[in-house]
Amino acid sequence: MRLLGDRGLAAPCEEVTAFDEDLARLVEDMFATMYAAGGVGLAANQVGVPLRVFVYDCPDDEDRRHLGHVVNPRLVATDGPVIRGPEGCLSVPGIEAGTPRYDEAVVEGVRLDGSPVTVRGTGFFARCLQHECDHLDGGLYLDHLTGLRQWRALRAARRAGLSPAPAGAPAPALGRVG
């Protein structure tokens, strides 16, 4: 798992162009990694692969399970009120913060076979969709924090041995394999 400070998390991911066995294996491996880490979503760059792919197994606020993957996803719509809710990240382990997100989100992309898919989410699942799309654009939930919330989250990250890399500086060797 790539951790806060790894340059791969800060770079936008590339579009997938090869829909082959390697892609299918990547998605399968990402599900295994997500489950092993206890997450509800995982973006490919979190496991060191700079491609626009994410997987999810996430409930919504009505406790309905949403399970799937999206290749070349684009967040095409957000709506509803902006709700500040608890958010964490497998790349920033153990640190949660109240993060503002829209209550509704729509993501468009394709499946492993290249067929189009539209994923609509509300509540916690909408938060997950926005979070994973942020990853693929080189962002983290910490980027949505301001003021005291941001300061506390970054302080907790530093205390845990994690730190965002300063601009132009080499990223610290924080990544763990597996």
Nearest alpha carbon to residue 41 among 136, 166, 167, 151: 136
The H-or-E segment that residue 177 falls in is none
User: Catalytic: 132?
Assistant: yes
Would you give the DSSP letter of residue 96? E
Q: How far apart are CA 153 and CA 139, in angstroms?
A: 15
> CA 31, 33, 36, 41 torsion: positive or negative?
negative
Nearest alpha carbon to residue 109 among 83, 85, 129, 84: 129
- Exposed/middle/buried for 58, CB within 10 Å: 0-12, 13-18, 19+? buried
Rg (CA), the chain: 16
- Point out the residues that are catalytic: 132
